[in-house]
Structure 1
Amino acid sequence: MITVGNAIKDIFQFPVVGTGFYYVWSRNVLNFKRNFVSSLLWLLLEPLFYLLAIGYGVGYYIGSVNGVSFLNFYFPALVSTTAMLISFYEGTYGCFRKLRYQRTYEVCLRTPISVTELAVGEISWGATKGFLSALFISLIALNLDLLTLEQLFPFLLVQAMLGWLFSALGMLLTTMAKSFEFFSVLQIALILPMALFSTTYFPIERIPEFLWPLIYVSPLTHGVSASRAISLDQTSSFFFLNLAVLFSFSVIFTNWSSSRLKRILID
Structure 2
Amino acid sequence: MAHPSTAVFERHLLIYRSLWRTTAFSFFLVPILYLVSIGMGVGEYVGRVGGFSYLDWIAPGLLATLAFQIGVSSSTYAVFVDFAWVGGLYVMRNTRVRINDMLAGWFLFVLVVLGLAVSVFLAVTAAIGAVHSIWTLLAPLVCALLAIACTALVAAFSATIRSDSYFPLLFRFAVVPTTLFSGVYFPVAAMPEYVQPLAYALPLWHGVELVRATMLGTTPAWPVAAHLGVLAAYLVVGYVLARQAFRKRLVD
Short-chain TM bin: over 0.9
Alignment of 1:13-28 (within 5 A): 19-28=3-12
CA 1:205–1:42: 2 relative to 1, 3 Å: closer
Give the match for residue 44 of structure 1: 28
Residue type at the aligned position of 2:171: Q
Give the match for residue 184 of structure 1: 168
State the distance in 1 between where 2:133 and 2:16 align: 29
Give the match for residue 212 of structure 2: 228
State the distance in 1 between where 2:13 and 2:44 align: 39
- Given that 1:123 and 1:171 are in contact with CA atoms closer than 8 Å, whether structure 2 keeps it comes out as no
Larger CA deviation: 37-46 vs 166-175: 37-46
* One of 158, 164, 175 as aligned partner of 2:159: 175
- Given that 1:25 and 1:124 are in contact with CA atoms closer than 8 Å, whether structure 2 keeps it comes out as yes
- Given that 1:169 and 1:253 are in contact with CA atoms closer than 8 Å, whether structure 2 keeps it comes out as yes
- Given that 1:44 and 1:136 are in contact with CA atoms closer than 8 Å, whether structure 2 keeps it comes out as yes
Per-residue CA deviations over 1:207-229 (Å, capped at 9, x if unaligned) read 11111111100000000000111
Give the match for residue 151 of structure 1: 135
Q: What is the deviation of 1:119?
A: 2.2
Give the match for residue 193 of structure 1: 177
Per-residue CA deviations over 1:203-256 (Å, capped at 9, x if unaligned) read 112211111111100000000000111111113562221111111211111122
Larger CA deviation: 140-149 vs 158-167: 140-149
- Given that 1:98 and 1:104 are in contact with CA atoms closer than 8 Å, whether structure 2 keeps it comes out as yes
State the distance in 2 between where 1:41 and 1:190 align: 22
Give the match for residue 78 of structure 2: 94
Residue type at the aligned position of 2:201: V
Give the match for residue 120 of structure 2: 136
- Given that 2:133 and 2:216 are in contact with CA atoms closer than 8 Å, whether structure 1 keeps it comes out as no
- Given that 2:68 and 2:150 are in contact with CA atoms closer than 8 Å, whether structure 1 keeps it comes out as yes
Give the match for residue 243 of structure 2: 258
* RMSD (Å), alpha carbons: 1.9
- Report the secondary structure of 1:261's partner residue: helix
CA 1:41–1:191: 2 relative to 1, 3 Å: closer
* One of 215, 225, 228 as aligned partner of 1:240: 225
- Given that 2:160 and 2:249 are in contact with CA atoms closer than 8 Å, whether structure 1 keeps it comes out as no
Identical-pair percentage: 26
Q: What is the deviation of 1:170?
A: 1.4
Give the match for residue 107 of structure 2: 123
- Report the secondary structure of 1:91's partner residue: coil
Q: What is the deviation of 1:177?
A: 1.6
- 2:98 aligned with 1:110: no
* TM superposition score normalised by structure 2: 0.92
CA 1:101–1:38: 2 relative to 1, 3 Å: closer
Give the match for residue 51 of structure 2: 67
Q: What is the deviation of 1:148?
A: 5.3
State the distance in 1 between where 2:3 and 2:138 align: 27
- 2:182 aligned with 1:202: no
State the distance in 2 between where 1:71 and 1:149 align: 15
State the distance in 2 between where 1:123 and 1:50 align: 27
* TM superposition score normalised by structure 1: 0.87
Q: What is the deviation of 1:158?
A: 0.5
Q: What is the deviation of 1:66?
A: 2.5
Per-residue CA deviations over 1:150-174 (Å, capped at 9, x if unaligned) read 2332111101111111111110111
- Given that 2:9 and 2:105 are in contact with CA atoms closer than 8 Å, whether structure 1 keeps it comes out as yes
